[in-house]
Amino acid sequence: MVLQYIESIAWAVGIALLIRTFLFEPFKIPTGSMIPSLLIDDYIFVTKSSYGVKLPFASSYLVRWGQPERGDVVVFPYPVKGTADYDKDFIKRVVGLPGDHLRMRNNVLEINGVPVHVKVLPEEVSCAGPNGYPCKCIQQIETLGEHEVLTQHFVTQGICINRPDWRTMFQGDMVVPEGHVFVMGDNRDNSSDGRFWGIDGQLEDPEMKGRTVPIELLRGRAHVIWLATDWSRMFSFIP
């Protein structure tokens, strides 16, 4: 009887580990960088087999059958070595694919010379800035590949944000290296992402490898919110 009980537990643990290693893994959203798509303390499932199957505890793929697409929300370990966040899990949205030429112009992302289609929503919304300062945000719907994404940014920077104004960054083309993707948060003015990693927004890395994420590091694609403080968002798909 005892042996059967132990065997049942062992099988259950083994199946759970198999699912977590190769199929799905839960993550908790720790920051507001993906607002309004994902909120702080949302719990999500990441499909680890979105792009292939990796060897356990390794970054290389055992079998690979897909590539990240523009607009995918992905989880990955922070790639910039020598920093406090190195190897911590981050979640962002893929906006640039290998070989893409990216440019920012007047708060609009251009990909290969073509501005991303943007529909600005008419009403400003409240958004909290650092230290609790009240700030207003503009929200807009962006078309990224097959995804329609709701993003937001501060109406004015001032006390709400203390970093270079990304609306005027990347006036010259920057090219995403092969085998990498460029990621950004949906909460555009309150996200630590490839615009700022390691070099404070300056174009000092012409190969962009310090500001992009190697595809082999991607843990998978985020698909579903399975637990949220707002119950209406539970078991909803991530756009």
The predicted-structure confidence for 38-67, as pLDDT tens digits, reads as follows: 998 999 999 887 787 776 666 666 676 789
**What stretches of 74-116 show up as alpha helix (H) in DSSP?**
none
Is 19 a member of any domain? no
Is 100 a member of any domain? yes
Task: Read off the CATH number of the domain in which 200 is found.
Answer: 2.10.109.10
Percent of the chain whose predicted confidence (pLDDT) is above 70: 71
Mean pLDDT, rounded, for 59-85: 83
Predicted pLDDT at 180? 93
Predicted pLDDT at 202? 43
Is 3 a member of any domain? no
Mind listing the pLDDT tens digit for each residue in 104-147?
Answer: 777 788 999 999 999 999 988 877 644 455 678 889 999 998 88
**CA atoms lying within 13 Å on the CB side of residue 139:** 14
Is 17 a member of any domain? no
Is 16 a member of any domain? no
DSSP 16-28: HHHHHHHTEEEEE
Higher pLDDT, 157 or 51: 51
**List of E strands, the chain:** 24-28, 43-47, 52-54, 61-64, 73-77, 89-96, 101-105, 108-111, 114-115, 118-120, 125-128, 134-144, 147-154, 174-175, 180-184, 213-214, 220-227, 236-237
209 given a catalytic annotation = no
The closest alpha carbon to 188, from 29, 32, 2, 18, belongs to: 32
Mean pLDDT, rounded, for 191-220: 70
Is 132 a member of any domain? yes
Predicted pLDDT at 166? 52
Structure token digits, residue 75 = 């989880």
**What stretches of the chain show up as alpha helix (H) in DSSP?**
2-22
- Residues 80/197, Cβ–Cβ less than 8 Å: yes
Q: Write out the residue range of the structural domain in which residue 56 sits.
A: 24-237
Catalytic residue, candidates 33, 37, 50, 191: 33
Predicted pLDDT at 96? 94
What one-letter code names the amino acid at 157? Q
Mean pLDDT, rounded, for 168-195: 82
Is 6 a member of any domain? no
Higher pLDDT, 230 or 185: 185
- Whether the full predicted model's pTM is greater than 0.95, yes or no, is no
The closest alpha carbon to 49, from 78, 25, 81, belongs to: 25
Encode burial over 21-58: b for 16+ CB neighbours within 10 A, e otherwise.
eeebbebebeebbbbbbbeeebebbbebebbbebeeee
Higher pLDDT, 139 or 204: 139
In this predicted structure, the answer to whether residue 189 has a pLDDT above a threshold of 60 is yes
48 given a catalytic annotation = no
Total domains in the fold of the chain? 1
Catalytic residue, candidates 37, 50, 54, 92: 92
Is 180 a member of any domain? yes
Tell me 149's DSSP state.
E
In this predicted structure, the answer to whether residue 13 has a pLDDT above a threshold of 70 is no
Query: Cβ atoms within 10 A of the Cβ of 162, count?
Result: 10
